[in-house]
Every structure is written in C-alpha cells, then in structure tokens.
Amino acid sequence: MKIIFMLTFLLGVISIQAKNILYSDPNIQWLGRWNENKGVGKWSGWGGSQVVFVVHGTSTVVVNADVIDPDGSNFCILSVVVDNSPMNSDVYYFTELSEIFTGKRSVTITLPDTTSHSIIMHAEGFNQALFSGIQKTTIKSFDIDSTGTIETWRQGIKRLQTVGDSWMAAECDYPRLMDRTKWVLYPVATGGLKASDMDKQYNFNYSGLLATDPAMDVIIVSFGVNDFNSGVTNSDFEKSLQSVVDQIQMNQPNSPVFLIQAPKNIVTGKDFGKYGINMQNIAKRHQMVYYISTSSLETSIGWQPDGSHLDEASKKIIADFIDSAISQYQLPAKSK
C-alpha cells in the first residue's frame, strides 16, 4: 500500500510539472523589430514590438527572461493582453521602479480558465534606454501546465506597420484592435516618442543596427500627443515628420502611408490635433501618402485620467475608424 501511495503521489507531482516552451518554438510569432541572442532569447529596442501566440489547456503562462536594468528611476515590465480585450493591458514587473538589477527573472500570468486564449505581450522600459540597449529584457522561454499547448495565433496576411508613440505601443496600443483577421501587425513604436525622436530612430532596430523590415502592405503613422505636451511648434513638427515619411518611403517604396491625426482632447482643451494641418501638407507633397483626420471623433471619445491617452472603449472606436478609412482607398495588391 505504501508503495502504491508513493507511486500515486509521484505521478501526481509529474502531472503538475510545467512544460517549458523555448522562445524559438515555431508557433510563437515575434511581430516588429526583435533581436535574437542566438540560442538564448529575443529582445527589442522598441516597446511596441509584440510576441503573440495561443495557449490551450493551461491555467498560467510563466515568462522567463534575462533582465538588465541599470536605471534606478525606471523599470522593466511586461504588458500582457489576453484575448485581445479592449481593456488596458495587465502590467507585470520584472524590476521595480527604484531597482537596479541584472539577472534572471520570471513573471506569472494567470488565465481566466484553461480554454484557448490568445496572448499579446510587449517588453517595455524607458524608451531611450530600450533603444540604446542599456535596458534590456531578453525573453527566453515560457512555462505552461503539463497539459497545455502553445499554438499559432491565426491572423490576416496583410502586413501593417504601425509607426508612433504610446498610442501604438504596449498598454495604450490601439492598432492591436484593428481587424486581426485582415492584418498582422509590425509595430515600430515606443511610448514617449515625438516625431523628432522617430526621425532619429526609424531606420534602426536599436542604436547602431540598421533595420531590415519585410515589405509592408500598409503603413500608419501617428504623432502629436508628446509633441504638444513638449511644446513642439507646427513648423518643427512638420520638418521632423517629413523626414520620417522620407525614410519610410525609402525603405517601403511600394507601401501606402497613412498619416493619422491625434484627436483633440475637448475635455482639457489640449489640441493634440493641431498638427493635422502639417500631416495634410506632407500628404499633398507625396504620392501614396494620405492624411486621415480624426476631428469627427472628438465628441465621441473619452480619455484616461492623465488626459493624454484614450480610455478603453475609445481605443476600439479609433481602431475601427482607421480600418474603415483605409478601406476607402484602392490599395495595391501585393504578394507575400
């Protein structure tokens, strides 16, 4: 009886052991500009880059990473969205705000049940520290229940590059709510950026390494919030965004580019949309560059308490609006 009990106990222990899934598993998609430490893991200099997959039969997902955080005034975090909910993403801390750390860390994501769930993750930190490679989260593997599986998240085949600030990155990201049966995203975005910052960074995976993006079907670009909050003049904004568009068209000569105005916050009076005229000017000077005004949304959208980010329902409103606006253009068909 004792032997039978011990055998049963050991089988029970085995049954609840985690299954380790390496970062290189072919069912995991790395969307955007990721850099590979061969045989170790992947990291990104862009906070908007996504790692996506579907899990089934597991109650948790543990994310294992090598973390470098030399900045005692910031943190390394993982933003996670389950089932592409319009709710703000959940934030998991690899390091705390005042912590300086180098080593291995894990965070545990608890799922609502063990049915199928799509997962979207962003590894974030301070924007310039990420881009310079000083602050780095290298995702190595994922642990799931022994009964679980990781599968590919089936999305659309049209590549959509999203170029922008926190509105296109991490927990504030609205492009993820666009039609994912049509689009597979390729984010080039980080929170806190102005158009002038993107002008310096667009051509790079991270500081010093030139990017080699695949061909895109469509590119959307949006700035204005950080520019307004930093007091950037219209003329300086137009100069910076013009340079960004030139770089995009040099790298993606066959892809239509849509410049998306940030809507005015009519509650606070902050006119993030003041740069729409500059976007319009740039579009007039270029072929295959189009301007999308969001001024018609100003009375129907709401804001988070900081006054600079859309509330959860409004992210879906603007995502649907942009999907509809793009569909009105005759986009060139391109093969993959």
Averaged pLDDT for residues 205-232: 97
Residue labelled with tokens 């003041």: 274
What per-residue confidence (pLDDT) applies to 43?
A: 98
Of 322, 164, 168, nearest in space to 240 by CA: 164
Distance CA 301, CA 181 (A): 25
Answer whether 77's CB lies under 8 Å from 93's CB. yes
pLDDT at 146 over 90: yes
pTM of this structure: 0.91
| Statement: residue 9 has pLDDT above 50 | no
> Average model confidence (pLDDT) for the chain?
92
Q: What is the mean pLDDT of residues 138-151?
A: 98
Query: β-pairing, 257-260 with 289-292?
Result: parallel
* Residue range 189-205: mean pLDDT, rounded: 97
Rounded-to-integer distance, Cα 262 and Cα 246, Å = 20
Q: How many CA atoms lie within 13 A of 204 on its CB side?
A: 16
Structure tokens at 65: 């990473």
Task: Look at residue 330 in the predicted model and tell me its pLDDT.
Answer: 59
CA atoms of 157 and 216, how far apart (whole Å): 10
Examine the pLDDT at 13 and tell me if it is beyond 50. Answer: no
Nearest to 228 by CA among 289, 186, 165: 165
- What are the CA-CA distances from residue 154 to residues 54, 139, 301 (Å)? 9, 22, 30
What pLDDT is recorded for position 15? 42
Q: For the chain, how far is it from start to end, CA to CA, in angstroms?
A: 63
pLDDT of residue 331: 58
225-269 residue pLDDT tens: 999 999 999 999 999 999 999 999 999 999 999 999 999 999 999
pLDDT at 171: 73
pLDDT at residue 272 is higher than 50: yes
82-98: pLDDT as tens digits: 999 888 889 999 999 88
Res 329: pLDDT: 82
